[in-house]
């Protein structure tokens, strides 16, 4: 790891000031992605701004029909939260399936979405539920937030503060986990949002996307057989040592059918 | 250089470290607590698991400075002052939950957290709960047996003999 200047602000205002106007500064949340990246010398920040002591960024609350989760809330806290389990049980289950217990104790919602790994789980939840990402300067609709592989709409010095999730009707997330890391080889989130069925896919393509053909096929109701006639084009899907594009294309349909069947 | 102040195994510790110093380096190299191992150094194997404020974490994937103000427990902090093993340590010995022993400190620390979180454990919970700990020797079978027995012993407050 290259040397850097470490900062431990205790307020969001101070964190924002430390990050602003310094292109070589990096935000540190749970560190489960950033620290391995620094160890491999794939990044060389001059300054690291740790959000760990900024209390206002952590926590879960219910705001009418919306669930608001602070950016630095660890996955384990989301998984165990009675509020999340009551409002959006599929989201609690998604958090419970991330990585392993130690990754869930440190890794955060904000870190996961800002990293936008093509195989990360949370992006599927944000996009399917139509969540809103709150930052230090604005509010961004989830579908505008995830812009490409490891890319988001964030400005370099913008900090994600929270995510607001509208409460869905029936919903379920099912993934085919990578057997080593548990990242989604393919993960599909199906949810009823505002009387419409929505389907979001992670792991398959460079970034999360909505599978509109499946949404149309499911307009008549949450029946897995409604997806039987669809095919997924492997062209442009991710292909790596874990799975070919063809295999991922097949998994998209299988995971989608399982998610529809699991909707509660 | 920044300083970090924390509790390690019940003792207050203040050390000057670099920002980039890992928690595992603070424990092993600055404090001489070499029971915490480094297996992969890539956040996968769990040999480096310690407790930070009671939660198991991979100490190779946390900066020492991030542990400011926390209570850290390592494998050296589990046994009683008179050397009596913690029930989970005793269960690993009793049930042959180790061969070379390299993964064992991390396994035990993860297992203690798992038992504290769930109370009663079943086999599925143990196997899923140890997802982040890799053992190259045992095939896990006896580790799972040890964790189930250790968790029961923790509940009962006394070490339990092998069945
Ligand atoms: C072994 C292992 C297994 C894993 N398995 C899974 C899995 O199954 N599914 C899954 O989805 N993920 C998985 N992960 C990733 C994990 O979920 C991480 O928590 C996540 O990728 C990063 O979150 P973090 O809080 O650790 O962020 P960090 O590593 O601290 O930061 C990641 C990036 O986001 C930026 N950032 C962080 N917070 C903010 C913020 N609030 N505002 C602006 N920028 C910010 C940082 O600057 C950095 O670029 C795994 C990781 C490991 C090590
Ligand atoms: S050494 Fe930390 S996870 Fe392997
Ligand atoms: S006992 Fe040898 S690695 Fe687990």
Helix (H) / strand (E) element for A191: namely strand A184-193
Q: Determine how many CB atoms are found less than 10 A away from the CB of residue A170.
A: 14
Q: Determine how many CB atoms are found less than 10 A away from the CB of residue A113.
A: 25
Instruction: Please provide the DSSP assignment of chain B as one string.
Output: --EEEEEETTEEEEEE--TT-BHHHIIIIIS--TTS--S-SSSSS-TTEEEETTEEEEGGGSBGGGGTT-EEE-GGGTS-TT-PPPHHHHHHHHTT--SS-SSHHHHHHHHHHHHHHHSS--HHHHHHHTTT---SSS-SHHHHHHHHHHHHHHHHTS-----
Residues of B whose CB is below 8 A from A99:
131-132
Question: How much is the pLDDT for A178?
Answer: 95
Of A3, A32, A182, the CB nearest to B18: A3
Q: What is the DSSP letter of A40?
A: T
For residues B110 and B73, what is the distance between their CA atoms, to the nearest angstrom? 12
> A28: nearest CA in chain B?
B66
> A80: nearest CA in chain B?
B117
The pLDDT tens digits for B96-139 are 999 999 999 999 999 999 999 998 999 999 999 999 999 999 99
Question: How much is the pLDDT for B158?
Answer: 53
* Ligand 3 center–CA B105 separation, angstroms: 10
B5 at interface of A, judged by CB pairs closer than 8 A: no
pLDDT band of residue B160 (cuts 50, 70, 90) is very low
Question: How much is the pLDDT for B119?
Answer: 86
B47 at interface of A, judged by CB pairs closer than 8 A: no
Residues of B whose CB is below 8 A from A182:
131
Contact criterion met (CB below 8 Å) for A134 and A163:
yes
For residues B107 and A104, what is the distance between their CA atoms, to the nearest angstrom? 17
User: Cβ B61–A31 below 8 Å, yes or no?
Assistant: yes
Query: Looking at residues A219-234, what average pLDDT do you find?
Result: 96
Contact criterion met (CB below 8 Å) for A155 and A136:
no
A201 at interface of B, judged by CB pairs closer than 8 A: no
Q: Is the pLDDT of residue B74 over 60?
A: yes
Helix (H) / strand (E) element for A121: namely none
Q: Rounded mean pLDDT of chain B?
A: 95
Mutation site, A100, A103, A111, interface B, largest B CB count within 10 A: A100
B72 at interface of A, judged by CB pairs closer than 8 A: no
% of chain A residues with pLDDT over 90: 97
The pLDDT tens digits for B2-29 are 999 999 999 999 999 999 999 999 999 9
User: Cβ B62–A31 below 8 Å, yes or no?
Assistant: yes
For residues A51 and B63, what is the distance between their CA atoms, to the nearest angstrom? 13
Question: How much is the pLDDT for B1?
Answer: 84
Q: Which tokens go with A164? A: 């607001």
The pLDDT tens digits for A71-88 are 999 999 999 999 999 999
Query: Looking at residues A125-133, what average pLDDT do you find?
Result: 98
Q: Is the dihedral of CA B116, A178, A171, A146 positive or negative?
A: positive
- A64's CB contacts (< 8 A; 6+ apart) are none
Contact criterion met (CB below 8 Å) for A90 and A189:
yes
* Ligand 3 center–CA B49 separation, angstroms: 14
Atom of ligand 2 nearest to the CA of B24: 2
User: Cβ B63–A53 below 8 Å, yes or no?
Assistant: no
The pLDDT tens digits for B127-151 are 999 999 999 999 999 999 999 999 9
Contact criterion met (CB below 8 Å) for B65 and A8:
yes
A178 at interface of B, judged by CB pairs closer than 8 A: no
Query: Looking at residues A23-50, what average pLDDT do you find?
Result: 96
Q: Which among A170, A90, A162, A92 is positioned nearest to A131, based on CA atoms?
A: A162
The pLDDT tens digits for A3-26 are 999 999 999 999 999 999 888 999
């Amino acid at each position: 790891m290259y040397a850097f200047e470490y900062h431990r602000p205790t307020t969001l205002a101070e964190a924002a000031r430390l990050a602003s106007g310094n292109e070589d500064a990096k935000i540190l949340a749970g560190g489960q992605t950033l620290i391995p990246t620094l160890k491999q010398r794939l990044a060389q920040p001059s300054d690291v701004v740790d959000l760990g002591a900024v209390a206002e960024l952590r926590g879960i609350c219910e705001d009418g029909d919306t669930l608001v989760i602070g950016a630095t809330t660890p996955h384990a806290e989301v998984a165990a939260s009675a509020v999340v389990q009551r409002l959006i049980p599929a989201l609690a289950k998604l958090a419970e399936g991330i990585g392993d217990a130690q990754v869930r104790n440190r890794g955060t919602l904000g870190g996961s979405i800002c990293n936008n790994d093509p195989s990360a789980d949370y992006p599927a939840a944000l996009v399917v539920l139509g969540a809103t990402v709150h930052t230090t300067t604005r509010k961004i609709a989830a579908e505008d937030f995830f812009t490409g592989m490891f890319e988001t709409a964030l400005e370099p010095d913008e900090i994600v503060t929270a995510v607001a999730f509208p409460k869905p009707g029936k919903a379920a997330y099912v993934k085919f986990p990578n057997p080593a890391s548990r990242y989604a080889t393919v993960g599909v989130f199906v949810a009823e949002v505002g009387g419409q069925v929505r389907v979001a896919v992670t792991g398959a393509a460079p970034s999360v996307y909505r599978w509109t053909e499946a949404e149309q096929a499911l307009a008549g109701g949450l029946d897995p057989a409604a997806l039987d006639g669809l095919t997924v084009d492997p062209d442009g899907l991710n292909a790596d040592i874990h799975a070919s594009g063809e295999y991922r294309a097949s998994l998209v349909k299988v995971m989608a059918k399982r998610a529809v069947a699991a909707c509660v | 250089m920044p300083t970090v102040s924390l509790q390690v195994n019940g003792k207050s510790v203040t050390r000057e470290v670099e920002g980039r110093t890992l928690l595992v380096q603070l424990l092993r190299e600055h404090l001489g607590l070499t029971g915490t191992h480094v297996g992969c150094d890539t956040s996968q194997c769990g040999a480096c698991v310690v407790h930070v404020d009671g939660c198991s974490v991979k100490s190779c994937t946390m900066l020492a400075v991030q542990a400011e103000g926390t209570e850290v427990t390592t494998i050296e902090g589990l046994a009683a002052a008179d050397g009596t093993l913690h029930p989970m340590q005793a269960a690993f010995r009793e049930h042959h939950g180790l061969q070379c022993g390299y993964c064992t400190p991390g396994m035990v620390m993860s297992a203690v957290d798992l038992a504290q979180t769930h109370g009663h454990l079943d086999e599925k919970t143990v196997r899923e709960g140890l997802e982040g700990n890799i053992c190259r020797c045992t095939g896990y079978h006896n580790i799972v047996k040890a964790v189930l027995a250790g968790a029961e012993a923790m509940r009962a407050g006394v070490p339990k003999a092998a069945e």
